[in-house]
Amino acid sequence: MRWLMFLPEGSDRNHLVVNVFGPNAVDISGVKFPATLLFVGGFDPLQDWQKRYHEGLKKSGKEVHLVEYPNAFHGFYCLPESPECSLLIGEVKSFVQKQSSLT
């Protein structure tokens, strides 16, 4: 419930700052938005929220790439010894190179 510290008093999880594609969301379909690379760990307790974010971007017509690591946990990228951390670095490198070649 840490998100409560950042919201106006009386807000709930449907505040557009914490639930950007929820019932109070603003339509971003006309907003210029960069291509997005999104990583989701299979053991991340927030994976449902991350997948909804992915779906929201897609429905808004945004370019979004989802990479799922079934054995990764929340914050896995902070531990360089985790195998998924190395995979993530390679994915980010490829993504940045691809996006750079498009401009």
Please report, for residues 1, 17, 31, 74, the alpha-carbon distance to residue 4 in angstroms, rounded to integers and kept in the order given: 6, 11, 27, 20
Residue 1: the pLDDT is 65
Name, in order, each residue with C-beta under 8 angstroms of 79's C-beta and a sequence gap of 6 or more.
85
Name the token pair of 99: 């996006």
Domain positions in the chain: 1-27, 32-102
Which residue's structure tokens are 């510290």? Answer: 5
Query: What pLDDT shows up at residue 43?
Result: 97
For residue 36, the model assigns a pLDDT of 98
Q: What is the mean pLDDT of the chain?
A: 93
Residue 67 has pLDDT above 90, yes or no: yes
Query: What predicted TM-score, i.e. pTM, was given to this entire model?
Result: 0.87
* Mean pLDDT across 32-55: 96
Asked if the model's pLDDT at residue 99 lies above 80, the reply is yes
